[in-house]
């Protein structure tokens, strides 16, 4: 498959009063035409900063101090502001978590959806509004013609997220980045938005980078999954490899902490004991070691390289070293994987 995006050895630091936060510490991945890559990991692991680096939507104190981001072979980090403006929202666009703050409360939704076209393509206002109506229909807003002149507050939360998606896809982007697009929504609406993204992908052929802290959500949408921890990818593979044959203890923890049909919403994030390391002063060895019940001496001393599990599956854990003791995922997880997969299929 054609690689349209290749991120290589990305490092991002933030200058703060307390020192330098090493938020992204050597991230590598690629994206092929038409595929969906999910990036999962606990809050603070660096998911948003990774994708915001692609579009250079970072806070002022950020410094992308190493790496390349190749889009069709050209390094986005070397583009001028003007060149990036032409790519952002047009070739590569992004939807954010909170639909209310992504929309302008004082502007009609018709105008907001049409705006990217007016900025980028210099089409007439009439054409842009026509296309906005068409895209609002595509994302499932009922009676779009009549609703073009309504304001965001006149729509439900789920509909507002559909409108945000309409803005992101109005110019048929090649890459759609969805940063926790369903986190603020209830479970039913969440499922509808996932369905919508899948449907849009088929209709407009866009590639998707889907970010979530909730591994359960990705089963229904992703082709490949990358698991992120403390500013690095720790495991990546096909969705089946990650769900049925996970290798990294952090991935086991994430899978084990997923809500299932019979657990409540709240109790799923706290179940990996301990907290992520302070990235002002990242540990010398494996950043997950202090929380890893299978950690060995080497975990405290040296960062693990990626070990190959299959042609498409890699994990950075010393447990995969040929000399490491053989450990198996905690009991009971295997049964739960099947359940998540089913849950994902429903979503």
For residue 181, state whether it binds ligand ADP (rule: CB under 6 A).
Answer: no
Distance CA 15, CA 8 (A): 22
Structure tokens at 147: 């609703």
Single residue of 27, 36, 37, 47 touching ligand ADP by CB under 6 A: 47
Which residue, 44 or 157, is less far from ligand ADP as judged by CB? 44
For residue 287, state whether it binds ligand ADP (rule: CB under 6 A).
Answer: no
For residue 279, state whether it binds ligand ADP (rule: CB under 6 A).
Answer: yes
Q: Cβ of residue 254: shortest distance to ligand ADP, in angstroms? A: 13
Confirm if 218 and 240 have CB atoms less than 8 A apart.
no
Single residue of 4, 27, 45, 158 touching ligand ADP by CB under 6 A: 45
Residue nearest to Mg ion (CB): 48
For residue 48, state whether it binds ligand ADP (rule: CB under 6 A).
Answer: yes
Confirm if 167 and 85 have CB atoms less than 8 A apart.
no
Q: Name, in order, each residue with C-beta under 8 angstroms of 143's C-beta and a sequence gap of 6 or more.
A: none
For residue 182, state whether it binds Mg ion (rule: CB under 5 A).
Answer: no
For residue 45, state whether it binds Mg ion (rule: CB under 5 A).
Answer: no
For residue 99, state whether it binds ligand ADP (rule: CB under 6 A).
Answer: no
Q: Cβ of residue 51: shortest distance to Mg ion, in angstroms? A: 9
Q: Dihedral through CA 178, CA 182, CA 188, CA 191, nearest 10? A: 20
For residue 92, state whether it binds ligand ADP (rule: CB under 6 A).
Answer: no
Distance CA 277, CA 11 (A): 17
How many residues make contact with Mg ion (CB under 5 A)? 1
Q: Choose the binding region for Mg ion from 44-52, 115-123, 278-286, 315-323 (rule: CB under 5 A).
A: 44-52
Which residue, 16 or 260, is less far from ligand ADP as judged by CB? 16
For residue 14, state whether it binds ligand ADP (rule: CB under 6 A).
Answer: yes
Which residue, 21 or 128, is less far from ligand ADP as judged by CB? 21
Single residue of 7, 27, 37, 46 touching ligand ADP by CB under 6 A: 46
For residue 194, state whether it binds ligand ADP (rule: CB under 6 A).
Answer: no
Q: Which does 55 bind (CB under 5 to 8 A by kind): Mg ion, ligand ADP, none?
A: none
Q: Which does 49 bind (CB under 5 to 8 A by kind): ligand ADP, Mg ion, none?
A: ligand ADP
Single residue of 22, 48, 50, 206 touching Mg ion by CB under 5 A: 48
Which residue, 154 or 278, is less far from ligand ADP as judged by CB? 278
Q: Which does 157 bind (CB under 5 to 8 A by kind): ligand ADP, Mg ion, none?
A: none
Structure tokens at 113: 């959806």
Q: Are strands 224-229 and 36-40 parallel, antiparallel or unpaired?
A: parallel
Q: Cβ of residue 44: shortest distance to ligand ADP, in angstroms? A: 4
For residue 53, state whether it binds Mg ion (rule: CB under 5 A).
Answer: no
Q: Cβ of residue 259: shortest distance to ligand ADP, in angstroms? A: 19
Judged by the rule CB under 6 A, the positions of this chain that interact with ligand ADP are: 14, 16, 21, 23, 41, 43-49, 59, 61, 279
């Amino acid at each position: 498959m054609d690689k349209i995006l290749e991120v290589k050895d990305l490092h991002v630091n933030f200058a703060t009063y307390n020192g330098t936060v090493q938020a992204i510490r050597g991230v590598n991945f690629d994206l092929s035409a038409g595929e969906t890559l999910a990036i999962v990991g606990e809050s603070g692991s660096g998911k948003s900063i990774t994708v915001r680096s692609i579009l250079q939507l970072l806070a002022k104190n950020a410094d992308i101090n190493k790496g390349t981001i190749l889009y069709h072979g050209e390094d986005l980090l070397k583009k001028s502001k003007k060149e990036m403006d032409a790519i952002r929202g047009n070739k590569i666009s992004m939807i954010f978590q909170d639909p209310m703050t992504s929309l302008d409360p004082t502007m009609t939704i018709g105008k907001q959806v049409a705006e990217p076209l007016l900025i980028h393509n210099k089409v007439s206002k009439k054409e842009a509004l026509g296309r906005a109506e068409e895209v609002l229909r595509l994302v499932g807003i009922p009676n779009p013609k009549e609703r073009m002149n309504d304001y965001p507050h006149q729509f439900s939360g789920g509909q507002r997220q559909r409108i945000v998606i309409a803005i992101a896809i109005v110019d048929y982007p090649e890459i759609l980045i969805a940063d926790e697009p369903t986190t603020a929504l209830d479970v039913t609406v969440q499922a509808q938005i996932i369905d919508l993204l899948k449907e849009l992908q088929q209709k407009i052929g866009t590639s998707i980078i889907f970010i979530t802290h909730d591994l359960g959500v990705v089963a229904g949408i992703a082709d490949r999954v990358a698991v992120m921890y403390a500013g690095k990818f720790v495991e990546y593979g096909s969705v089946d490899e990650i769900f049925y044959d996970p290798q990294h203890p952090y991935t086991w923890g994430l899978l084990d902490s997923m809500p299932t049909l019979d657990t409540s919403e709240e109790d799923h994030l706290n179940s990996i004991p301990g907290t992520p390391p302070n990235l002002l002063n990242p540990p010398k060895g494996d950043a997950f070691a202090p929380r890893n019940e299978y950690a060995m001496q080497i975990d405290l001393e040296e960062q693990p390289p990626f070990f190959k599990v299959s042609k498409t599956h890699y994990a950075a854990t010393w447990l995969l070293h040929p000399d490491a003791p053989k450990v198996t995922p905690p009991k009971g997880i295997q049964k739960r994987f099947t359940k998540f997969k089913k849950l994902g299929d429903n979503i």
